[in-house]
């Protein structure tokens, strides 16, 4: 509410609020920066990162400014960024035409029936398509103030490098920490570090299952509907991914038998 009421406050009241809360002071500075910086650079190629600065502070500030211009509506920011953040570059008409060719062909015996309209909707909008996650602001605050694990502290340099690589691939969008106060419906999750086999570089794992205290109710996975024996959630189809790899192998094998001279 402070964001939408800011323009109606007098200068003395704004000064008082800034003196009372650090996040409000940072927000006030961001408003000033937003009126001065251009954000269209975010739509272009990313600049080469400086070797001694794992986080591009200029890009981080511009991203925060763009989010403020969208009134902290994160979904609108993603739609505006497009590029790798969405599937707008795909030829949906071509894909729809391909689906029409196979949509009336029954699946082989033992294979699950594919809900193609549902699959297309998931591809375009993401998953889950509909759900209700909730948590208290106190839980978000606890997650935000929770100290990094010993593994994260030990691998701090590798974690920074991993974040930089994943930001470049649009797996993450980096923002100033204080903005957690202004994002409605925000859930925070813990980061864990994992090492795969003998790879010395750490991998970041987002953990939406763990809590940091008995009063922390921000674990999003605990609020997902159960697709098990008690019936399927109306937006969640039966889960058949356990046999997907074998079904793909059988399909490829049959293609090789039917079309032996075709190079895949």
- Return the pLDDT at 72: 93
Q: Tell me: the pLDDT tens digits for 34-49?
A: 999 999 989 888 877 7
- Statement to judge: residues 70 and 184 lie in one domain: yes
CA proximity to 23, closest of 135, 158, 179, 173: 179
**Residue 61 domain-assigned (yes or no):** yes
Residues of the domain holding 206: 37-84+131-223
- Statement to judge: residues 118 and 243 lie in one domain: yes
- Statement to judge: residues 96 and 135 lie in one domain: no
Spatial separation of the C-alpha atoms in residues 14 and 192, rounded to whole Å: 39
**Residue 263 domain-assigned (yes or no):** no
**Residue 31 domain-assigned (yes or no):** no
Q: Tell me: the pLDDT tens digits for 187-224?
A: 888 888 888 777 777 788 888 888 999 999 988 888 87
- Statement to judge: residues 42 and 161 lie in one domain: yes
**Residue 242 domain-assigned (yes or no):** yes
- Statement to judge: residues 215 and 157 lie in one domain: yes
Question: What is the gyration radius of the CA atoms in the chain, in angstroms?
Answer: 23
DSSP of 149-190, one letter per residue?
PHHHHHTHHHHHHHHHHHHHTTS-----GGGGGT-TT----E
Q: Total domain count for the chain?
A: 2
**Residue 196 domain-assigned (yes or no):** yes
- Statement to judge: residues 175 and 241 lie in one domain: no
How large is the angle between the packed helices 11-20 and 22-34, nearest 10 degrees? 130
- Statement to judge: residues 181 and 232 lie in one domain: no
- Statement to judge: residues 219 and 232 lie in one domain: no
**Residue 8 domain-assigned (yes or no):** no
**Residue 20 domain-assigned (yes or no):** no
Whole-model pTM: value is 0.75
- Statement to judge: residues 186 and 139 lie in one domain: yes
- Statement to judge: residues 201 and 236 lie in one domain: no
**What is the three-state SS of 214-261?**
CCCCCCHHHHCCCCCCCCCCCCCCCCCHHHHHHHHHHHHHHHHHHCCC
**Residue 100 domain-assigned (yes or no):** yes
Of the pLDDT bands very low, low, confident and very high (cuts 50, 70, 90), residue 229 is very low
């Amino acid at each position: 509410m402070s964001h939408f009421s800011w323009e109606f406050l007098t200068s003395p009241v704004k000064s008082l609020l800034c003196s009372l809360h650090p996040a409000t002071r940072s927000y006030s500075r961001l408003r000033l920066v937003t009126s001065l910086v251009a954000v269209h650079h975010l739509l272009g190629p990313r600049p080469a990162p400086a070797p001694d600065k794992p986080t591009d502070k200029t890009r981080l500030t511009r991203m925060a400014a763009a989010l403020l211009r969208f009134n902290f509506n994160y979904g609108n920011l993603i739609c505006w960024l497009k590029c790798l953040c969405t599937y707008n570059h795909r030829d949906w008409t071509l894909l729809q035409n391909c689906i029409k060719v196979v949509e009336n062909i029954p699946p082989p015996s033992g294979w699950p029936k594919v809900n193609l309209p549902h699959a297309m909707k998931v591809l375009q909008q993401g998953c889950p398509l509909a759900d209700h996650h909730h948590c208290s602001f106190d839980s978000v605050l606890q997650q935000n103030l929770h100290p990094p694990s010993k593994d994260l502290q030990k691998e701090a340099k590798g974690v920074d490098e991993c974040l930089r690589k994943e930001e470049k691939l649009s797996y993450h969008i980096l923002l100033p920490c204080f903005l957690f106060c202004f994002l409605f419906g925000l859930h925070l999750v813990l980061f864990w570090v994992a090492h795969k086999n003998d790879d010395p570089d750490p991998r970041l794992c987002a953990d939406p299952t763990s809590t940091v205290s008995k009063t922390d109710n921000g674990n999003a996975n605990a609020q997902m509907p159960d697709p098990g024996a008690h019936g399927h959630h109306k937006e969640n189809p039966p889960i058949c991914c356990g046999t997907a790899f074998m079904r793909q192998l059988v399909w490829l094998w049959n293609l090789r038998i039917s079309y032996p001279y075709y190079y895949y």
